[in-house]
Amino acid sequence: MLPRIEHVRVGNRGDALKLPVVSLASPVSGPAVVITGNVHGDEYIGVTAAHLLVDRLQHDLGRGAVHVYPSLNQNGLRSGNRGIGRDGPDLNRRFPGSRNGDFASLLALTIWEDLAARKPDLLIDLHADSGQSIPYAIIDRAVRKRGAARKRMDARLCAHAEATGLTVLHEYPDDLYLRFGLDRSLAGATVNHLGVPAVTIEAGPRGVVSMAAVGVMVNAVLGVLADVGMVEGGFEPDPSRRTDGPWRRTAGPQTTKPGVFEPALAPGSLFEPGDLLGRVHELQGRVVEEVRAPSLGVVVSWIDGCWLEKGTVVATVGVPEAS
C-alpha cells in the first residue's frame, strides 16, 4: 500500500509550520494507531525510526491504520533544542493545548485536534534519554479514572508497554505525576483526556541519530503492533530487558560536591542500598565524593555530561513499584 501524506498547518503568518502526517491503511479493518516522534526537539531517534516504520509498514501492515508524525517540534529539531526553539517551553507539558496561550499551547492544540480526529485506539510516543541508558517503555498514570475503569486502563497500558520487549517503568506516583504536569504530556493527555491508551518508548541518546537505537525503537514499535494483531508477530525482546520488576521511574541521588562524575555501574545494573553508584573527582583526580544508593533499584540512565555541579541528579533509576 502507498502512504498518504498530509500536512497539519500551525499558525497562518510567515512563521507558519507544516507538520507532516504519513498514514497507511490496510484494506483489512483493525485498530488505528498514532505514532509520534520528536516532541522533544533534540530527540532524533524517533524521527528516523518513524521514517523506517513507514517503509516497513507499507509491506507489513496486515490490519488497521497507522498515522505517523515524524516530528512534532520542527523548531526544536532545527535548533537542536528540547523545547520549542532556543530556550522555548517544553511542548510535552502543554497537551491538550489551548487557543488562548502562547505558540506552544497553539501547537499542542493543533496537533491534539488532528490526532484526536483520527480516532486512535493507541498512541505510541517516541523519545530518547541519554548517551548511557537502557531503552525502556513508560506506563502513564490514569489519574482521572477510578476503580474498575482505572484497573482496565492500567491493564491495557501495562500490556502495550510489555509488548515493546523493553524494560518497563511505571511513571512517578500519582501526586508527583500531577505535580510534574505529566498528565499534560502527549502520552499522559492521551490517557487522561482522550481516555485512549498510550505507551512512551525511550531509546538511545539525545542529540544524535544512532542507528543502533533506531533499530531498537523500530523493533519495540513493531512488537506493540504485533501484539494488537496489525503485523505478523515474533519479535525478540531487547537483550537489555529486565523482567524482575515492576519498576517505577524516579530521580537517582544528587551529588553534594561539584566535580567530574564517574559512573560505577553499567546501565541496566541492579543495585542494593549502600552500593557505590559513582564517584566525584576533583580535576587533579582526587575522589571527593562517593555517591551511594539510598535503596534497591536498577540504573536506567546516567546523566549526559562530565562536570557536575553540586546538587545534580546523576541518574534516572528504577525502584520497586510498591516502594
Q: Which residues bind Zn ion (CB under 5 A)?
A: 40, 43, 127
127 vs 160 by CB, closer to Zn ion: 127
| Smallest distance, Zn ion to C-beta of residue 139, A | 16
β-pair type (297-302, 270-271) = antiparallel
43 vs 171 by CB, closer to Zn ion: 43
Q: Which grid cell is 256?
A: 553534594
| Smallest distance, Zn ion to C-beta of residue 44, A | 11
Q: How far apart are CA 70 and CA 121, in angstroms?
A: 19
β-pair type (315-320, 247-251) = antiparallel
40 vs 231 by CB, closer to Zn ion: 40
Q: What number of residues does the chain have?
A: 323
43 vs 183 by CB, closer to Zn ion: 43
| Smallest distance, Zn ion to C-beta of residue 43, A | 5
Helix or strand (DSSP H, E) at 181: none
Peptide bond into 135 cis (omega under 30): no
Identity of residue 154: D
Q: How far apart are CA 195 and CA 175, in angstroms?
A: 19
Q: How far apart are CA 58 and CA 13, in angstroms?
A: 35
Determine contact, residues 67/115, Cβ cutoff 8 Å: yes
40 vs 93 by CB, closer to Zn ion: 40
24 vs 203 by CB, closer to Zn ion: 203
Which one, of 178, 188, 168, 191, lies nearest residue 249 by Cα?
168
| Smallest distance, Zn ion to C-beta of residue 86, A | 17
Chain-centroid distance, C-alpha 286: 37
| Smallest distance, Zn ion to C-beta of residue 305, A | 17
| Smallest distance, Zn ion to C-beta of residue 216, A | 15
57 vs 161 by CB, closer to Zn ion: 161
| Smallest distance, Zn ion to C-beta of residue 187, A | 10
- Residue ranges in 61-180 assigned as alpha helix (H): 74-79, 103-117, 147-163, 174-179
